[in-house]
Structure 1
């Protein structure tokens, strides 16, 4: 794995260093359980349909739509990412190679919590009665600490995530910020523990080189590829 991704291998209980603005949390226990019926985030279902007179079915999960923001700090010529523990990623690695759902206590010696730490773009769920830009603006402030006007959010494109299981609608924005707009350390709200990580353009380019491996979702790679295609030559001159 590239040196630029070394931060993802650090102990999730260690203090943050090298551009990570918020200290890491300490996860001391992980266990698995069944999905409660009253979950507001995920609702499983089955769709039936007829295709060429053949009855078919597909299982799916209904999830909440989201917004993602690719942030570039003009003052320091850095791209801004976030790191956080993602339980879904952890269980995916934990139960890899098995069709059975993981149950009970996780073996943290064999499967340390940092395996579930992701590198992502700033973003969040569309769970408020507000415009997508207003929600994106709030996420930038809450997660990364920048106060930005909605008009500075450039709409990049809309796409679908997890089309085989959830097909949630995603909207990607691009936003350039400066140090003067930094009003807090970010880190999320309520029980969130989000770390802010800055990378140079050249460091970030390694994330999308052939053979690269990251622990984040496709939104990050998609946003970076768009940035290098349309923005990088302009912002680095």
Structure 2
């Protein structure tokens, strides 16, 4: 597991991937507005290894997930106030005397030190299981080629474009981005494994750990809430169970 430290949450004034906007519109005569982000479309790939009869996923640290878990671990404002009141109780009369004498200078000022959160959750709180994926950030590149490069770079399998099967496309993050993602299916074998490779235009290999989920454990894995995962993982496992598992004559434990 990667070592994650020195975490700081700061305002984002510019980004290469996200651009915030506000749209104004009228709906049934009522004026409304909505804040959203423009981002790239993407592809994701369900990879099935026919040699070992397992799915190939990517496990990686997601800062957004981690911050959500961090926020959940913080005490609520009411709890903070209660704790503050309990701690201040023995000093209450002394503070009143100071106020009466005009010695309460600086009272009420709030300061926050960087890194003052004492109970950071472990880095594993921000780790999710995902399908291999890639951004569609090159307009002239076919989606199948984006998917092929993603499989090679993230999981180390060299899959011909002709062997990629499109399953469907859908909208993700409809309340924030509304970006389109296209889902592919790819069958690989150990003969296709050439190792994680750099793709032209990338500065460095993508982060993430390749993990394998045995076919007979797939549906149990999909619905295990203790294993954080994206919706495409669950959907694609169900799709495989309904469309492909009879071919391999192996139960997926539904």
Report TM bin, short chain. Answer: 0.7 to 0.9
Q: Do the aligned residues in 1 keep the contact of 2:58 with 2:130 (CA within 8 Å)? A: yes
Identify the residue that residue 160 of structure 1 maps to in structure 2.
171
Distance 2:26 2:226 in 1: 40
Identify the residue that residue 191 of structure 2 maps to in structure 1.
180
TM-score by length of 1: 0.80
- Which structure has more helix as a fraction of its residues? 2
Distance 2:198 2:228 in 1: 19
Q: Match of 1:92, SS?
A: helix
The aligned runs of 1:129-168 (5 Å cut-off) are: 129-168=140-179
Identify the residue that residue 17 of structure 1 maps to in structure 2.
none
Identify the residue that residue 21 of structure 1 maps to in structure 2.
none
Q: Do the aligned residues in 2 keep the contact of 1:117 with 1:215 (CA within 8 Å)? A: yes
Larger radius of gyration: 2
The aligned runs of 1:1-237 (5 Å cut-off) are: 12=1, 25-37=2-14, 39-96=15-72, 105=115, 107=117, 109-128=119-138, 129-185=140-196, 190=204, 192-209=206-223, 212-236=225-249
Distance 1:158 1:111 in 2: 35
Distance 1:203 1:186 in 2: 29
Aligned length: 210
5+ residue gaps in structure 2? 77-112
Q: Report the RMSD for the aligned CA atoms in angstroms.
A: 2.5
5+ residue gaps in structure 1? 1-11, 13-24
CA distance 1:45–1:200, change in 2 (3 Å): same
Q: Deviations over 1:32-69 (max 9, x none)?
A: 111122x1111111111111211011111112111000
TM-score by length of 2: 0.75
